[in-house]
Amino acid sequence: MLTIYGVYCSRASRNYWMAEELGIPFKSVPVIQARLVADPLALDARLNTKSASFLAVNPMGKIPAMDDDGLVLTESLANNLYLARKHGGPLAPADLREEGEVLAWTLWAATEVEPHTVKIVLTYDNAREETPEGKAIIETSVKGLERPLARLEAHLQTQDYVVGSRFTVADLNLTEVLRYAMSETYLFDRHPRIKAWLARCHARPAFKTMMAGRRKEAEAA
């Protein structure tokens, strides 16, 4: 069975969404970020990224990690590419050309987009968005997104999804990376095709199921 390590309120959300899309059974092990635990090494501490049992799974001490019948993978976007390749179906590349496109867009999301979007979400997570320093971080990050979003906006001019004419793992991966910046609504108002594409992706039942898991987790905290 597939085991996903990580709380829903983390990059593990990408893998939970993918598993829901594929309709495959999975076990969730809710490992939380050590920074959110007062004393992550305490004997009675909640299972976290510094817990010895989790470090045995991912020595890097980061979530998510994924164990698929003994195969352990520890990079959220790569995890999804693996699941798409293993289980096939419409989320997977249909041929070698599409596989190249899916890989290219996923790596583009990781290298050109996420370095900026993650700074935005962490600013909010740390309640610094109204501070001068936080505002400066957000402004710089938004400027850094201008060129990548212009490219994606142009790409979506002739198609509804990133690869082919259907929702694929490339859309899921890129949508999750961009979700970190959705607090900046004006940014997406300036890119209406991206805004409409995000709405299509977020209307999917599997995304809603994943988000329900996040809400439930947040309410229980």
Please report, in tens digits, the pLDDT of each residue of the chain (221 residues total): 999 999 999 999 999 999 999 999 999 999 999 999 999 999 999 999 999 999 999 999 999 999 999 999 999 999 999 999 999 999 999 999 999 999 999 999 999 999 999 999 999 999 999 999 999 999 999 999 999 999 999 999 999 999 999 999 999 999 999 999 999 999 999 999 999 999 999 999 999 999 999 999 988 87
Q: What is the pTM of this model?
A: 0.96
Tokens of residue 14, six digits: 């990408």
So what's the pLDDT on residue 14? Answer: 98
The residues near 162 (Cβ < 8 Å, ≥ 6 apart) are 101, 105, 152, 155, 156, 168, 170, 171, 174, 197
Indicate the CATH number for domain 2-88: 3.40.30.10
Tokens of residue 79, six digits: 């995890």
The answer to whether domain 2-88 and domain 96-206 are alike in fold is: no
Amino acid found at 77? L
Beta-carbon count within 10 A of 34 CB: 19
So what's the pLDDT on residue 221? Answer: 73
Helix crossing, 169-178 with 12-22: angle to 10°?
Answer: 150
CATH for the 96-206 domain, from 3.40.50.300, 3.40.50.880, 3.30.1330.200, 1.20.1050.10:
1.20.1050.10
- Which residue ranges make up each domain of the chain? 2-88, 96-206
